[in-house]
Amino acid sequence: MQGVGQYTRISSNASDIRGNDLTDYDMKNLNIAYWVLRVAVAGEFFGHGIFAIQGKEQWITWIQELTSVTPETAATLLLLTGIIDVLLAALVLVKPFRPLLLWMALWGFWTALVRPIVGEPIWDFIERSANWGAPLALYYLSKRQ
């Protein structure tokens, strides 16, 4: 990726997995896909962050089950998590930092995995594959800093 003003785009000297140079058309589509992923990841973290800030009762219960903390502590942990998620969502739109994208992928994986751990069906984990897959894809599309 290369900076263009405040925006980031994939550099024009990119190649495909076989080493072939990408055409301008390929580059345009790759840049569109890059931005679609940025918006999707931001939307996911913003939405979940707002739910957390609002103190989603089910999530508070899960935190209590997993950590054995009081409801007040669980609510505080959830609030802090929500604030972090909203900040990460904004950051992905401004400048996606690779280490944070990796964190977002791991966090998305963990929060999806929590569902079957607390007794929800395994399908609740499977259907949330995009929660960790999208930040991971963005991680791999982003230039190493």
**According to the model, what pLDDT value does residue 143 have?**
76
**Residue 112 lies in domain:** 2-141
Distance of CA 63 to the CA centre of its chain: 20
Instruction: Count Cβ atoms below 10 Å from residue 120 Cβ, excluding itself.
Output: 13
Q: Are 115 and 128 in contact (CB under 8 A)?
A: yes
CA–CA separation, 93 and 17 (whole Å): 27
Query: How many structural domains is the chain composed of?
Result: 1
- Beta bridge partners of residue 8, listed in sequence order: 3
Q: What is the full per-residue pLDDT of the chain (145 aa) written as tens digits? A: 444 333 444 555 666 556 667 677 777 888 899 999 999 999 999 999 999 999 999 999 999 999 999 999 999 999 999 999 999 999 999 999 999 999 999 999 999 999 999 999 999 999 999 999 999 999 998 875 4
The total number of residues written for the chain in this structure: 145
